[in-house]
């Protein structure tokens, strides 16, 4: 959406005024272009997000509202995925390979939200998530020198 505004020459309408001292925001041309930029933003936003910007009267206001909503969702996603990871436990009757695949999926979700887990932390979380039946394996792996995640899996 930002690139579309740039191509149409409307990017200045979502830039904060303190960073754009050149533009005169009181002219008729500015206000007309601001409505065009507002239309581009409203048209490109999905129905899910149009709800949050329907009361906006300027392009800058609609952009700010979208940023707030998306940042809140990002924080919420981080909390949800992190909570899933910390509550991750092996369910009774689950095969080890299936459990490891689920763990890898959670680690990938963490990476997707920008929270990369180093190998040591992944190993600690994986071993801590195992059922009592696997505690002996866990103990052996913990006492093995130069342990890697690939070796444990």
Domain residue spans of the chain: 2-73, 88-152
Phi, psi at 112, each rounded to 5°: -65, -35
Closest to 56 (Cα-Cα) out of 71, 75, 44, 39? 39
What's the residue count for the chain? 153
Helices (H), 17-118: 28-44, 47-53, 59-86, 96-112
| Torsion, Cα of 141, 147, 150, 153 (10° steps) | 0
Q: Which residue has the tokens 């149009």?
A: 50
Residue 135 confidence class, pLDDT cut points 50, 70, 90: confident
Rounded Cα distance between 109 and 107, Å, is 5
Q: Which long-range contacts (CB under 8 A, 24 or more apart) does 65-74 make?
A: 66/41, 74/113
Q: What is the pLDDT of residue 72?
A: 72
Residue 153, number of CB atoms within 10 A of its CB:
14
pLDDT tens digit string along 1-25? 778 888 888 888 887 665 565 667 7
- Please give the C-alpha separations between residue 29 and each of 11, 14, 32, 72, 114, in angstroms, as whole numbers: 14, 15, 5, 34, 41
* Range of lowest pLDDT (7-21, 46-60, 101-115): 7-21
Question: Which range is most confident: 47-51, 94-98, 113-117, 145-149?
Answer: 94-98
């Amino acid at each position: 959406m930002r690139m579309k505004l740039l191509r149409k020459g409307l990017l200045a309408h979502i830039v904060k005024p303190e960073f754009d001292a050149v533009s005169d925001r009181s002219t008729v041309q500015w206000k007309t272009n601001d409505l065009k930029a507002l239309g581009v933003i409203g048209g490109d936003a999905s129905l899910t997000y149009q709800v949050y910007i329907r009361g906006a009267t300027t392009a800058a206001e609609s952009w700010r509202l979208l940023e707030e909503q998306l940042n809140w969702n990002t924080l919420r996603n981080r909390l949800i995925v992190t909570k899933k990871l910390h509550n991750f436990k092996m369910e009774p009757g689950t095969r080890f390979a299936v459990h490891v695949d689920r763990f890898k999926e959670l680690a990938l979700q963490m990476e997707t939200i920008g929270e990369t887990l180093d190998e040591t932390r992944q190993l600690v979380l994986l071993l801590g998530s195992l059922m009592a039946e696997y505690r002996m394996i866990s103990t052996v792996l913990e006492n093995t020198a130069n342990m890697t995640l690939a070796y444990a899996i």
